[in-house]
Structure 1
Amino acid sequence: MDDTHTAAATRLAGGTPLASTIDTSDAAAWTGLDLAVRELARTRPSTLPTHAWATGRRFRWPRDAPLPRLDLSRRREPDGPELALALCHPDGRIREAALRRAAGLPAPDLRPLLPLVAIRCADWAEPVREPARDLLRAALPGAGPEAVAVLAPVVLRVAGRRHGEAARNLLEATLRESPVPVLETALVRDDRATRRLAHRIAVERRHFSPERFAAAAAADPDVVIQDICADGAVAGVGPETGDEVLLPLLRSPHSRVRAAGVTALRRAGRPGEAEAFLTDRSSMVRACARYVLRQYGTDPAPLYRTLCTGGSVPPAAPLGLAECGAREDAALLWGLTEHPHPGVRARAVAGLRVLDAVDVARLMPLLDDPAPGVVREAVAALTPYTERLPVAELRARLGTEHPRHVRVGAFRLLVAHGGPDLREVAWSLVDDAEPKLRANSWAMLRS
């Protein structure tokens, strides 16, 4: 048990108000408090109040099960800290009685306890979780933005438990039907799960304009929210849609958002603009661009061939050609393996692998390319053909006179090739000055 949670439970047992006991904005603090109270009841029961007011007995317990300690002389109502402790108590009869007491509280007094009520919605005992769900169902509509913002992370944290889905469903229903300020508060919550859920519901409710969804998709750091907002923006795209929606998507640094923007060009009736994305660095964006062009009757393969034979070849053009071209395009890609731009050479090698047009003898010289990216692609292309590789030439490339990336690539191919001499090669490199070769050698020897 985390000492922080234990200390919080101890302070709560001493009468400290709940808001001063834990960080109420942290869902882990609530679930940790729940467990800590149970642990206190087991290890230091005298720390907790006697809960004399907890007289509910709806459970059918074994006859030898000990009853909660009662002091019938105490008839006062439990205060906030005591009720919070009772909601976490290991004895289900006390948890049940605490829920009945909480149901009678005025709304302002109940709101601080709602996260613990949400945890009880996933309780193992049906006589506890059913009243908890009834109470949460009744309290949520009037809870207000801040209370829902505190409650939502706790609900989503316990949603993965066996009985946790019911509270999540109640929360989702509330966010779908709540006034705008409640949803707005959840949208800017620090908790990632809460923000994701709130954005999904915002899309369902069409809470934002397409322009605002597009701006959020382009700027939000969370990749899931990027997808959600991009979908929300694209859903509002039509022939009348202008640059204020499309440009934030198309100019986004995130490939999934750009892909959504390119796909939206079809709905906007602007397929010609997709041609510029045929050479995007992302394969997903390139695929979307080809899809849009095909929907309007344009075959992208000739466009790629033109790009690959022009004076200035975009680096991604050779790979894009391989993704939609024919085996006959391999001749064009082989010519680009000698292009002065290393990015073009690397994508040309990658394209040959996509077309299954690898020629081991012609590709071996590229293991000496001055660009590490080209060598990496050459290694990836040659790996399936290790039985045809000249082992002596690979071992020669391990010499210290070769650049680091050449030596590392040669060793990777030797490991893929295997053979009886591989351990000897690895032992010769365990003290090498190159850290990556040392690490790879030790990893191979340990395997």
Structure 2
Amino acid sequence: MLLAVDRDGDPQLIAGTGQLLLQASPRVWLRLDEATRRYWWGAPRWSEAAVQRLSRGESSPLGLTVAAFHPNGRVREAAVAQLAEVHDTLAVSALTLRASDWVPRIRDRARAALEPRLTEPPGVPVAAAAIALALRERRQGRWLADRVETAFSEGPVELLTAALAASDRRTRRAAHLTALAAGRLDLTQMLHAAEHDSDLLIRIRCAEAAVRTATVAGTVDLVRPLLSSGTAMVRAEAVHVLAREGDVTPAVSALTDRNPTVREVAQAVLRRAGADPLEHYRRLVMTSRPRPGAIAGLGETGTAEDAGLIAPWLDHPQIRGRAEAVRALHRLGAADPDALFPMLTDPSGAVTRQITRALRPWASRLDLPRLRELLTVGNPQHIRTAAYRLLHQRDTWTRLLIDLELVADPSPPMRNRALSDIKSWLTHEAATAYSMPQDRTADALAQHLCEAEDALGPDLVRRLRFHLGLTRRSGA
């Protein structure tokens, strides 16, 4: 398409295409460079026309950009020479790609053209930064990436401000981390990034830096907004630093946080302050509708004797409440299979996953007909999956019987899971399965294997017959 636009020469189309390229991600630029270079070989007439326009000095910035992707090094070098004279953001992006070119002369010319532009108005180096940082791991890519980071560290404030707000994640991350290391961000900027940036690493690093800065300045109260951050590590950091300054109230509130890391920090704070988080959790769980975090916290700090406080919340109205109740009972070694087994029909997969984990130790004792009933096609996927996992844990022959039943299941996830498990058993466990299925179990496996032949294919069927000792039986 770029070759066609460049060839046709329509000014509006060229301008519009240039704008689209300016908005493109670094990944698009890198793929475009590679794809266009391959395509040139199959378009000799277009290639010749583009080279002629280049030699006459008639190429637009878009045409020069396309020429900079050419497989012929002389053409790329000529394009770079002309791009060096063009004060256009599109030219900067093309030069950035060629600054890591494998041909030294092209690479050097592109770098010489780019170096002075890193101190130009903010938009120019920021446009180069996204591509330069994406090229860092290439053999010749580090040079420009290092120059960009130096510009963030030592360049004009306007450049840093533009980079901190860039849409490209790599650029924002490099700008924030470089500026933090250079001490170029004030507390307000750190707090804003810690609360609002979409990149997790930026949020965490800025929160840590904000806490250090506020502590040194004696303005720890300014980090309170971080207590409501959407990032668990940021909330935990705020709880920790406020407690260090003598305020444990946020830690009390954080005891019921949705994240275990934050709860752990809050629990440690209370213990250091001479309080017992367990007593807090016991009181919280006895309220009319405890938060899921309170149930989880009691499971983290309590004993088996607390099971009586947790068990009523297996009927918690919130999904997370029920899931945390199951998890807490399991953690305390107080899971009751008779109470949990009926919950396998819970409408939430988050709950049935916790129930499955808790019931695994009793898998061989669970109601087999009921598990088979839950595995049938009419049930929701998460219920079928829970039943499958528990049947899988029961014993080897039940596991393989269920797998053979499911290899032709109408549900792709169930089919794939069963087939994958059969292959895994053959690869990792079959050779050490010294016992063989007997009597009715062997008959059932032989029948299921016959029924699954089309789904399994002859090789898997042959290997299964051999390892299950069914070869004589099938030949009889």
Instruction: Name the TM-score class by shorter chain.
Output: 0.7 to 0.9
2:159 aligned partner: 182
Give the number of the structure with larger relative contact order, counting CA–CA contacts within 8 Å between residues 6 or more apart: 1
Matched AA of 1:348: A
1:251 aligned partner: 228
- The answer (yes or no) to whether the contact 2:391–2:398 under 8 Å persists in 1 is no
Does residue 1:379 correspond to 2:329, yes or no?
Answer: no
2:462 aligned partner: none
* RMSD after superposition: 4.2
Seen in structure 2, the aligned counterparts of structure 1 residues 413 and 351 have a Cα distance that, compared at 3 Å, is same
Seen in structure 2, the aligned counterparts of structure 1 residues 7 and 300 have a Cα distance that, compared at 3 Å, is farther
Distance 1:430 1:36 in 2: 41
CA-CA distance at 1:77 after TM superposition: 9.8
Seen in structure 2, the aligned counterparts of structure 1 residues 42 and 295 have a Cα distance that, compared at 3 Å, is farther
What do residues 113-160 of structure 1 show as CA deviations (whole Å, max 9, x unaligned)?
Answer: 22222112221223332443344333312x211112222222123223
Seen in structure 2, the aligned counterparts of structure 1 residues 350 and 256 have a Cα distance that, compared at 3 Å, is same
1:287 aligned partner: 264
Q: Select 1:341's aligned residue among 316, 338, 358.
A: 316
Does residue 1:272 correspond to 2:272, yes or no?
Answer: no
SS in 1 for 2:68: helix
2:474 aligned partner: none
2:69 aligned partner: 88
Alignment of 1:47-446 (within 5 A): 47-50=49-52, 83-84=64-65, 86-96=67-77, 99=80, 105=85, 109=87, 112-141=90-119, 143-238=120-215, 240-241=218-219, 243-247=221-225, 249-309=226-286, 313-325=290-302, 329-339=303-313, 341-342=316-317, 344-358=321-335, 360=337, 363-367=340-344, 374-395=351-372, 409-417=386-394, 419-420=396-397, 438=411, 441-446=414-419
Distance 2:10 2:347 in 1: 69
- The answer (yes or no) to whether the contact 1:265–1:292 under 8 Å persists in 2 is no
CA-CA distance at 1:424 after TM superposition: 6.5
2:439 aligned partner: none
Seen in structure 2, the aligned counterparts of structure 1 residues 12 and 234 have a Cα distance that, compared at 3 Å, is farther
Distance 2:228 2:124 in 1: 38
Seen in structure 2, the aligned counterparts of structure 1 residues 415 and 145 have a Cα distance that, compared at 3 Å, is same
Seen in structure 2, the aligned counterparts of structure 1 residues 384 and 200 have a Cα distance that, compared at 3 Å, is farther
Unaligned runs of 5+ in 1: 54-73
Distance 2:71 2:381 in 1: 62
**Higher deviation after alignment, 127-136 or 112-121:** 127-136
- The answer (yes or no) to whether the contact 2:153–2:184 under 8 Å persists in 1 is no
Seen in structure 2, the aligned counterparts of structure 1 residues 429 and 334 have a Cα distance that, compared at 3 Å, is farther
Distance 1:304 1:150 in 2: 53
Does residue 1:38 correspond to 2:37, yes or no?
Answer: yes
Distance 1:400 1:80 in 2: 61
Matched AA of 2:117: A
Normalising by structure 1, we get a TM-score of 0.74
1:56 aligned partner: none
Matched AA of 1:121: A
SS in 2 for 1:24: helix
Matched AA of 2:363: T
Q: Select 1:24's aligned residue among 16, 22, 26.
A: 22
Matched AA of 2:33: D
SS in 2 for 1:89: coil
- The answer (yes or no) to whether the contact 1:9–1:37 under 8 Å persists in 2 is no
Distance 1:87 1:369 in 2: 60
1:7 aligned partner: 4
SS in 1 for 2:22: coil
**Matched positions, count:** 411
What do residues 257-310 of structure 1 show as CA deviations (whole Å, max 9, x unaligned)?
Answer: 323332332354323321111111111221222243345454534433443456
Matched AA of 1:341: H
SS in 2 for 1:109: coil
Distance 1:250 1:13 in 2: 56
Seen in structure 2, the aligned counterparts of structure 1 residues 406 and 154 have a Cα distance that, compared at 3 Å, is closer
Distance 2:29 2:417 in 1: 46
CA-CA distance at 1:425 after TM superposition: 6.0
SS in 2 for 1:269: coil
- The answer (yes or no) to whether the contact 2:98–2:107 under 8 Å persists in 1 is yes
Seen in structure 2, the aligned counterparts of structure 1 residues 394 and 16 have a Cα distance that, compared at 3 Å, is closer
